[in-house]
Amino acid sequence: MSKEVKLFLGPNHPGMHGNSSVHLYVEGDTVVKARLVPGFLHRGFEKLMEKRLWFQNLALIPRICVPEPDINEMVFAMAIESLTKTEIPERAHWIRMIILELARIASHLMAMGGIGGATGLYTMPYWTMPDRDRILDIFEKITGARIYHMYIIPGGVRKDLPGGIEKEILAVLDYLESRKPEYENLLLKHRVIRTRTKGIAKLTKEEALEMGVTGVGLRATGLPYDIRKIDPYARYDKVEFSVPTATEGDAYARFTLKYLEVQQSINIIRQCIDMMPKEGPVNIKFTRGSALRLRVPAGSIYCHVESSRGEYGYFVVSDGGEMPYRIHVRGASYPQGLYGVESKLPGTRLEDVALWLGTMDFCSPEIDR
């Protein structure tokens, strides 16, 4: 008779994506029960936001998602702009899209590197992380920071793009496109990767919809669900791009879609640089008091964007005061990170747990918020 053993995956483990822990109960090499234990990283974001002025929250919210912080700035700004009925300058819309798509590429590169770590192919993170640093260099020149930018603000963006940055962005995009043959050979065609990921960590369309999974987890089952298409924000309705899908629903399909989405983001950024006004204001000043003492009219709004992990949204309630009355964060990885871990990991082999976490875009702060 086999004996059930409890193992701790994380928080300090190369297979754990972020500061969380999964308690695994295994018999032999098979997981029979899994329990997510968050609480190792950030806590109480939503309540902290209710105790800060509207603009003070700009320094707090990027930390809810470390690999892709700009989505928090975007949905927060969209919510305030909707409640105050504020129209932002045209150039600001396009700059926001450039920032969001660069952040999307950076997040996908980090995720693809994680696949290499979970399969023992460490060449992959050795390639993707330095390439991601090229994007962080761009962020640093635009915003002054590499990770937490606090650049997208209510009313537009904090400051205009520095002179000549468009050429530098295009140079980085050209470089990433030149890497396509190498990435495809290493990530998509590599025998180890294909053997370790095809048919592994499968999710059906019905299971994805039942759990509320979005992003590549849902698109890998055949549904082209993308907020940028079904509910466009900024100027996404003015650019052309496709939504890659697959039907297998396994780990291989999910990270293949990540790779394909990088190519789409490159295409979107190129269009933004071509189509955005070459000059003009990039932000507006609110008339309801100073920035720090902004009063947002009473009301509630739900705003969402398409993050690298799926639908990411804020439900914001204002009572007309200088601070939010209530904010709820819809973390994109919450369904698969909590429900998926505890309901779908049982029956999985121990060595495939990291592949589930990596390809299903597990992000600890979105859950432990």
Q: How far apart are CA 37 and CA 320, in angstroms?
A: 37
Predicted local confidence at residue 275, as pLDDT: 96
Q: Which fold has domain 5-360?
A: Cytochrome-c3 Hydrogenase; chain B (1.10.645)
Whole-number pLDDT of residue 129: 93
Output DSSP code: residue 159. Answer: S
Nearest residue to 21 (alpha-carbon basis) of 366, 337, 360: 337
Residue type, 322: E
* pTM (2 d.p.): 0.94
Residue spans of the domains in the chain: they are 5-360
Direct distance between the N- and C-terminal alpha carbons of the chain, in angstroms, rounded to an integer:
41
Count Cβ atoms within 10 A of the Cβ of residue 237 and give its class: 0-12 exposed, 13-18 middle, 19 or more buried.
exposed
How confident is the model at residue 174, as a pLDDT? 97
Tens of pLDDT, residue by residue, the chain (369 residues): 567 788 888 777 666 666 778 889 999 889 999 988 877 766 788 899 999 999 999 999 998 888 899 999 999 999 999 999 999 999 999 999 999 999 999 999 998 888 887 888 889 989 999 999 999 999 999 999 999 999 999 999 999 999 999 999 999 999 999 999 999 999 899 888 898 889 888 889 999 999 999 999 999 999 999 999 999 999 999 999 999 999 999 999 998 999 999 999 999 999 999 999 999 999 998 765 566 788 999 999 999 999 999 999 999 999 999 999 999 999 888 888 888 888 888 988 888 888 888 888 778 778 876
